[in-house]
């Protein structure tokens, strides 16, 4: 009988703020699976069989307390096993530095799989390293799995679009959060067996954290609990809008930044706009001397995950250029205006609470009016049900086991067969 190594090793990469909530449910699902297996009585020779060891790697792309540490606390993430401490830099230098430092770690750890999430520089850097690694003379390398695969804005001026395309095309397993992702990957020639429509791990985190977010005191600390006779949204909370802006195309150009602010003037007369400011944006506001153009907009420091969730849930309207917030507002059924010309998350438009506002003063004003006058009816996108990470872990473990058996020579499957699954799970069947 074939001896299969007992512990599988899965490396999970996080680096920037939007990665943390996408990764947390995957860690929880691996732990839960391990605990279940540990509870099953096994002969002592097989103890630990089928369990997976998680190696959490933080690249250090984001490093501030507010951009990283507070998310570890809020999401109860374990301390990273490895911290690459890369920090900020130009795209090339940041990506290259992550690659250089991660390669050393991967060669040492020889993981069975490297899981990357989202579309930040850390995602593409580690996926590239893992796809080209060779642990031995036969060229064994880890499986590369991309969580949130297939999303496309079709706007190659966005650094994230390049990151998504490259990551998807070097990955073996593509875990998709909405149908458009499946369609895009198939159109780009990715094999159907590699594509797994599993749902959205960011929504797993949101659903798991909602009760804790309710207990946040951010509304009180920002003075947004209803004051006597104040404007009330109906649940004891003052009416306010929530704004986030950090995309270089919006905030690195003074003219564009100004027209977005102009588009929000009317809204700011209706209710206060709370604006947790990303470090990049904070630097531009000061560089462009935009402080005086912020009338009615209340600048606050970046918030932790639970506080931000609480603010989103109770907002009258959210205005954003973030990708993830479009999804979170859809799940929370809070009207959202996206100040961009395109979105890689079209399900938030077709099913969700999102409308595109563009970046001109006029188009933003129109979109805000539309959302105030007639907020959209929202239906929850398919598989945004809190179980995406569990589906991912099942597919991943099966793929690792299949590949181990194939490389050990006992299975008729080729190594490439391990790109698919053998458990009849949610992968796309080729007819
Ligand atoms: C990155 C991601 C973007 C994601 C965003 C969420 C890429 C290409 N972009 O953009 O997709 O939506 O994170 O925040 O990966 N800084 C700090 N402290 C930090 C991190 C950054 O002060 O902890 C400052 C630095 O001056 C840095 C700037 O913010 O130069 C921008 O950070 P960077 O990681 O380069 O890109 P983001 O704009 O955050």
Q: Which long-range contacts (CB under 8 A, 24 or more apart) does 76-84 make?
A: 76/24, 77/14, 77/20, 77/23, 77/24, 77/27, 78/27, 80/14, 80/56, 81/54, 81/55, 81/56, 81/57, 82/55, 82/56, 82/57, 82/58, 83/57, 83/58, 84/57, 84/58, 84/59, 84/60
Angle between helix 201-214 and helix 388-408 axes, rounded to 10 deg: 140
Nearest CA-CA partner of 260 in 370, 152, 367, 374: 367
Percent of the chain residues topping a pLDDT of 90: 85
Q: Which residues have C-beta within 8 Å of that of residue 140, sequence separation ≥ 6?
A: 134, 407
CB 299 within 8 A of CB 65: no
Q: Concatenated DSSP letters for 194-215? A: GEEE---HHHHHHHHHHHHHHT
Predicted local distance difference test score (pLDDT) of residue 361: 98
In the Cβ-directed half-sphere of 228, how many Cα atoms lie within 13 Å?
0
pLDDT score for 50: 82
pLDDT category at 199 given cuts 50, 70, 90 is very high
Q: Which of 280, 284, 328 to mutate to test the pocket of ligand 1 (most atoms within 8 A of CB)?
A: 280
pLDDT, tens digit, 9 for 90 and up, residues 248-271? 999 999 999 999 999 999 999 999
- pLDDT at residue 211 greater than cutoff 70: yes
Q: Which domains does the chain have, with CATH numbers?
A: 8-199+384-419 (3.40.50.2000), 217-373 (3.40.50.2000)
CA 24–ligand 1 middle distance (angstroms): 20
pLDDT above 80 (res 96)? yes
Q: With cut-offs at 50, 70 and 90, classify the pLDDT of residue 410.
A: low
Which residue of the set 62, 246, 278, 427 is catalytic?
Answer: 246
State the average pLDDT over residues 174-180: 98
Whether ligand 1 lies within 6 angstroms of the CB of 157 is answered as: no
Measured from the Cβ of residue 122, the count of other Cβ atoms closer than 10 Å reads: 29
Q: What is the pLDDT of residues 139-165, one digit of tens each?
A: 999 999 999 999 999 999 999 999 999
Cα→Cα distances 98→57, 123, 172, 213, 417, Å: 11, 10, 21, 33, 30
Phi, psi of 222 (to 5 degrees): -95, 5
Half-sphere exposure of 385 (CA within 13 A, CB side): 7
Beta bridge partners of 195: 174
- 246 is a catalytic site residue: yes
The distance of Cα 359 from the centroid of its chain, to the nearest Å, equals 23
pTM score, two decimals?
0.93
pLDDT at 375: 84
Distance CA 386, CA 373 (A): 31
The protein residue whose alpha carbon is closest to atom 15 in ligand 1 is 120
pLDDT at residue 9 is higher than 70: yes
Find the mean pLDDT for residues 121-148.
97
**CB 121 near ligand 1, within 6 Å:** yes
* Ligand 1 centroid to residue 378 C-alpha, Å: 31
Ligand 1: residue whose CA is nearest its atom 18: 64
User: Ligand 1 pocket: which of 246, 321, 344 to mutate (most atoms <8 Å of CB)?
Assistant: 246
Could you tell me the distance, in angstroms and rounded to a whole number, from the CA of residue 345 to the centre of ligand 1? 21
Number of the ligand 1 atom closest to the C-alpha atom of 61: 34
The C-alpha atoms of residue 213 and residue 19 are separated, in whole angstroms, by 19
Q: What pLDDT, on the 0 to 100 scale, is given for residue 41?
A: 64
State CA 157 to chain mean position distance: 20
pLDDT band at 407 (very low <50, low <70, confident <90, very high): confident
> What average pLDDT does range 75-87 have in this prediction?
98
What is the tens place of the pLDDT at every residue in 277-310?
999 999 999 999 999 999 999 999 999 999 999 9
pLDDT value for 414: 40
Residue in 14, 15, 16, 282 to alter for ligand 1 test, most ligand atoms within 8 A of Cβ? 16
Question: Residues with Cβ < 8 Å from 305, sequence gap 6 or more?
Answer: 20, 21, 70, 71, 74, 75, 205, 209
Is the distance from CB of 286 to CB of 299 less than 8 angstroms?
A: no
Q: How far apart are CA 127 and CA 16, in angstroms?
A: 15
Q: What's the pLDDT band for 381 if we cut at 50, 70, 90?
A: very high
Residues 324-337 pLDDT 10s: 999 999 999 999 99
CB of residue 279 inside a 6 A radius of ligand 1:
yes
Residue 227: pLDDT band with limits 50, 70, 90:
low
Any ligand 1 atom below 6 A from CB of 17? yes
Average confidence (pLDDT) over 53-57: 98
Residue 42 binned pLDDT confidence (cut-offs 50, 70, 90): low
Listed in order, strand segments (DSSP E) in 37-132 are: 52-58, 82-83, 113-117
The answer, yes or no, to whether any atom of ligand 1 lies below 6 A from the CB of 89, is: no
Smallest Cα–Cα separation from 275: which of 244, 312, 252, 310?
244
């Amino acid at each position: 009988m074939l001896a299969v190594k007992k512990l599988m090793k899965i490396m999970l990469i996080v680096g920037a703020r939007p990665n943390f909530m996408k990764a947390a449910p995957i860690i929880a699902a691996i732990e839960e699976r391990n605990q279940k297996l540990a509870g099953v009585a096994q002969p002592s020779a097989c103890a630990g069989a089928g369990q997976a060891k998680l190696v959490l790697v933080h690249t250090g792309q984001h490093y501030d307390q507010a951009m990283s540490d507070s998310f570890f606390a809020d999401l109860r993430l374990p301390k990273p096993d490895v911290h690459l401490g890369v920090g900020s830099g130009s795209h090339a230098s940041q990506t290259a530095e992550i690659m250089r430092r991660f390669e050393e770690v991967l060669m040492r750890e020889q993981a069975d799989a490297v899981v990357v999430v989202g579309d930040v520089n850390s995602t593409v850097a580690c996926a590239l390293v893992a796809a080209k690694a060779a642990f031995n003379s036969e060229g064994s390398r880890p499986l590369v799995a991309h969580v949130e695969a297939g999303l496309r804005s079709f706007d190659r001026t966005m650094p994230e679009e390049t990151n998504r395309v490259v990551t998807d095309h070097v990955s073996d397993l593509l875990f998709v959060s909405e149908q458009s992702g499946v369609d895009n990957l198939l159109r780009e020639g990715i094999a159907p067996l590699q594509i797994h429509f599993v749902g959205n791990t960011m929504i797993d985190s949101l659903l798991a954290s909602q009760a804790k977010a309710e207990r946040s005191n951010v509304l009180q600390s920002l003075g947004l609990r209803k004051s006597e006779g104040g404007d009330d949204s109906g649940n004891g909370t003052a009416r306010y809008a929530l704004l986030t802006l950090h995309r270089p195309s919006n905030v690195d150009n003074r003219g564009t930044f100004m027209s977005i602010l102009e588009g929000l003037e009317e809204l700011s007369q209706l209710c206060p706009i709370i604006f947790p400011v990303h470090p990049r944006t904070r630097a531009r506001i000061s560089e462009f001397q935009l402080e005086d153009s912020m009338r009615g907009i209340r600048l606050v420091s970046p918030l932790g995950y639970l506080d931000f969730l609480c603010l989103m849930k109770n907002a009258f309207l959210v205005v954003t250029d973030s990708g993830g917030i479009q999804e979170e507002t859809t799940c929370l059924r809070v009207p959202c205006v996206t100040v961009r010309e395109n979105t890689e998350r079209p399900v938030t438009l077709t099913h969700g609470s999102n409308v595109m506002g563009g970046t001109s003063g006029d188009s933003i004003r129109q979109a805000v009016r539309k959302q105030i006058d007639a907020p959209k009816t929202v239906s929850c996108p398919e598989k945004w049900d809190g179980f995406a990470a569990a589906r991912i872990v099942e597919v991943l473990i099966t793929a690792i086991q299949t590949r181990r058996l194939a490389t050990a020579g006992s299975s008729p499957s080729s190594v490439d067969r391990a790109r698919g699954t053998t458990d009849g799970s949610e992968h796309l069947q080729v007819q």
